[in-house]
Amino acid sequence: MTYKTRISSTAIARASRCLHAFYLQCYGDPLEKRWPEAGMLLQFERGMAYERQCVSSLPEVVEPRWDGKYGKAGFESTLTLMNEGHPWIHQGVLLTDTAAIL
């Protein structure tokens, strides 16, 4: 099953500041979406570099193995890691009836 809505950790963080932007990302018309400019892309790159730095400092970090396309496979891999008792799971996948939360 593929999900219409893929919710990223960035979207969840953005929702804590602006529910309107979160709603538009989930339900808005993709053709009306404004794409980020160069300055915003640089901010994204810096944010991802900071995330990698933070994650690399954690002991025993694991990531679910999946192709990045089908949320159910990512969820099953995440659930396996959770059941195995790993203390840190980076980029885990959770599912609802309508969305894959990445």
Q: Quick one: pLDDT at residue 80? A: 95
Residue 22 sits at the vertex; the CA angle it makes with 20 and 26, to the nearest 5 degrees, is 115
Q: Quick one: pLDDT at residue 23? A: 82
Q: What is the DSSP string of 7-36?
A: E-HHHHHHHTT-HHHHHHHHHS-GGGPPPP
Q: Which two tokens stand for residue 93?
A: 């996948």
> Is the pLDDT reported for residue 6 higher than 90?
no
Residue 68 sits at the vertex; the CA angle it makes with 92 and 63, to the nearest 5 degrees, is 35
> Is the pLDDT reported for residue 3 higher than 60?
no
What are the phi and psi torsion angles at 93 (to 5°)? -120, 130
Q: What value does the mean pLDDT of the chain take?
A: 84
Q: Quick one: pLDDT at residue 37? A: 92
**23-32, 75-84, 93-102: segment of lowest average pLDDT:** 93-102
Q: Where are the domains of the chain?
A: 5-101
